[in-house]
């Protein structure tokens, strides 16, 4: 981390890179981007979106197809990424400060019962008692178990955050599928369900 701090540059990636994005921010304060790597960009539109986010010209995430699970407004540092990686970080030195944070989560190709266990683990670690807002992105290609689990992703989210009056948005445009709008990890943001928006503060 000392070497990274002496040579600051943003890491870009998603999926397994979620662990690195959050750990680098936690240990150095350097912002990264939960975004598609250039090699896997699907078209020029995604390239433009990524360059726009990196330059700081794009100051918000489009939310046209998102849904509100719980209304509210939150201001805080944006953290998170892939759920199956991020849920290992709480309790370690590589986890960012979650007090008042806006937590972004997405994942792909797993059984919904496993996501339930991950949410339960994070609840036990106090994650949901600390964050100020939650944005769930695309959960791509999720499956039910051989014995039907009986609960949806919305169900397990609301159960995990029972008693917390914080904004929750579902189906935001980031994840393992085609939609992966770049999100700056470590930058302050504003989540507001009244305008159905996640706005990023300008670059320093």
pTM score > 0.85 for this model? yes
* CB-CB contact of 12 with 47 (8 Å): no
Could you confirm whether domain 2-195 is CATH 3.40.50.300?
no
Contact 11, 4 (CB under 8 A): no
Both structure tokens of 30? 């350097």
Task: Determine the pLDDT at residue 41.
Answer: 64
pLDDT of 42 reads 64
Judging by beta carbons within 10 Å of its beta carbon (0-12, 13-18, 19+), is residue 173 exposed, middle or buried? buried
For residues 108 and 140, is the Cβ–Cβ distance under 8 A?
yes
The candidate with the shortest Cα–Cα distance to 169, out of 202, 199, 203, is 199
Helix, strand, coil tally for the chain in percent (to 5): 30, 25, 45
Burial class (CB in 10 A: 0-12, 13-18, 19+), 62: middle
- The greatest distance separating any two alpha carbons of the chain, rounded to the nearest whole angstrom, comes to 51
Residue 178's pLDDT is: 67
What residue has token string 């370690």?
92
**Along the 204 residues of the chain, how does pLDDT read in single tens digits?**
999 999 998 898 888 999 999 999 999 999 999 987 766 666 677 777 777 777 778 788 888 889 999 999 999 999 999 999 999 999 999 999 999 999 999 998 888 899 999 999 999 999 999 999 999 999 988 887 777 888 899 999 999 999 899 999 999 988 876 667 889 999 999 999 999 999 998 655
Q: What is the pLDDT of residue 148?
A: 81
């Amino acid at each position: 981390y000392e070497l990274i701090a002496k040579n600051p540059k943003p890491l870009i990636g998603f999926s397994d890179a979620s662990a690195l994005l959050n750990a680098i921010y936690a240990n150095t304060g350097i912002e990264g981007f939960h975004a598609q790597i250039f090699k896997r960009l699907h078209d020029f539109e995604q390239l433009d979106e990524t360059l726009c986010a990196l330059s700081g010209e794009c100051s918000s995430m489009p939310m046209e197809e998102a849904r509100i699970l719980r209304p509210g407004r939150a201001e805080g540092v944006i953290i998170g990424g892939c759920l199956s990686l991020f849920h290992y970080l709480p309790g370690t030195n590589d986890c960012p400060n979650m007090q008042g944070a806006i937590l972004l989560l997405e994942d792909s190709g797993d059984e919904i019962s496993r996501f339930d266990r991950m949410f339960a683990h994070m609840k036990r670690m106090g994650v949901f008692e600390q964050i100020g807002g939650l944005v769930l992105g695309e959960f791509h290609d999720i499956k039910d178990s051989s014995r039907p689990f009986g609960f949806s992703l919305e169900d397990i989210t609301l159960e995990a955050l029972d008693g917390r009056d914080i904004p929750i948005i579902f189906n935001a445009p980031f994840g393992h599928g085609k939609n992966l709008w770049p999100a700056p990890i470590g930058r302050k943001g504003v989540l507001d369900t009244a305008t159905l928006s996640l706005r990023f503060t300008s670059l320093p």
